[in-house]
């Protein structure tokens, strides 16, 4: 599922090997700006939740993660939902009370 969704938004994810993807992202980051958000997706693909959460935190800290506003509902992050570190990060980005209010207003 992760691969299917990711390839739709970023063709780079068509590369069949997650480790190769990670190496290429690191090289791109050295040459210019690559949002750590993309590292999070690769780390998820590698099954490394800790690194995925760290990359999401870095994206938030750099202010580069426009995609993070959907952190509480983005299905790509489903494997992280039970992790207290992810929950703490989600709370920083979109506090639960704001999320609940927005959800009620959109109904």
24-46 residue pLDDT tens: 777 766 777 778 888 888 888 88
pLDDT digits (tens, 9 = 90+) for 50-86: 999 999 999 999 887 667 888 988 888 999 999 999 9
Q: How confident is the model at residue 105 (pLDDT cuts 50, 70, 90)?
A: low
pLDDT at 11 over 70: no
Burial code (b: 16+ CB inside 10 Å, e: under 16) for 4-31 equals eebeeeeebbeeeebeebbeebeeeeee
Q: pTM score, two decimals?
A: 0.69
């Amino acid at each position: 599922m992760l691969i299917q969704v990711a390839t739709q938004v970023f063709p780079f994810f068509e590369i069949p090997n997650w480790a190769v993807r990670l190496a290429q992202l690191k090289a791109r980051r050295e040459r210019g700006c690559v949002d750590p958000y993309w590292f999070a997706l690769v780390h998820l693909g590698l099954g490394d939740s800790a690194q995925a959460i760290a990359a999401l935190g870095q994206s938030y800290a750099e202010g580069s993660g426009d995609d993070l506003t959907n952190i509480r509902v983005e299905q790509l992050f489903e494997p992280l939902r039970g992790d207290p570190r992810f929950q703490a990060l989600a709370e920083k980005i979109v506090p639960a009370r704001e999320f609940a209010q927005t959800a009620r207003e959109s109904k």
